[in-house]
């Protein structure tokens, strides 16, 4: 899949880390924003996303566990479809599915479960706190 990142601090740090996983300055910036325990999981998740051609392929390979791509609950029908994936049990990464034409995001009311059509995603947020179980 093709991945673009937003301009927020969390997205910039995440993008720098996954593009330069051996650069100590990128790792240091990342750990200022996120817990250092998720460095390896973040890199591994990004590599899996890049290796998969579509979201359906990703879910087929890695979706048996908790790392499957899912729809975020609470999104209104007229809003952009928001998808999520777990980096670890506690941290989530949120993204939009970009239409194949590149002209915009998929609207939730137009969604019929077509994970096989998702080839381009735009990450707009990575939460910086642990969700309580």
Query: What is the pLDDT, as a whole number, of residue 102?
Result: 59
pLDDT truncated to tens, each residue of the chain (133 aa)?
999 999 999 999 999 999 999 999 999 999 999 888 889 999 999 999 999 999 999 999 988 777 889 988 888 989 988 998 988 877 788 888 877 655 678 888 888 888 999 999 999 888 876 655 4
Query: What is the pLDDT, as a whole number, of residue 1?
Result: 92
Query: What is the pLDDT, as a whole number, of residue 133?
Result: 46
Contacts of 103 (CB under 8 A, 6+ apart): none
Residue 97: name the closest of 63, 128, 69, 131 by CA.
69
Query: What is the pLDDT, as a whole number, of residue 132?
Result: 53
Angle CA 75–52–29, to nearest 5: 70
Query: What is the pLDDT, as a whole number, of residue 130?
Result: 62
Query: What is the pLDDT, as a whole number, of residue 103?
Result: 65
Distance CA 93, CA 98 (A): 16
Distance CA 70, CA 72 (A): 6
Query: What is the pLDDT, as a whole number, of residue 26?
Result: 95
Angle CA 53–30–27, to nearest 5: 90
């Amino acid at each position: 899949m093709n991945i673009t990142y937003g301009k927020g601090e969390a997205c910039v740090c995440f993008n720098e880390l996954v593009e330069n996983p051996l650069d100590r300055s990128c790792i240091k910036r990342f750990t200022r924003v996120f817990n250092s325990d998720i460095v390896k999981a973040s890199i591994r998740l990004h590599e899996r996303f890049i290796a998969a051609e579509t979201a359906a392929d990703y879910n087929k390979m890695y979706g048996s566990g908790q790392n499957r791509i899912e729809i975020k609950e609470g999104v209104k029908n007229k809003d952009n479809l928001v998808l999520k994936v777990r980096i670890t049990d506690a941290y989530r990464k949120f993204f939009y599915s970009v239409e194949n034409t590149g002209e915009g995001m998929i609207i939730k009311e137009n969604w019929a479960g077509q994970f096989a059509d998702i080839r381009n995603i735009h990450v707009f947020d990575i939460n910086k706190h642990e969700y309580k179980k």
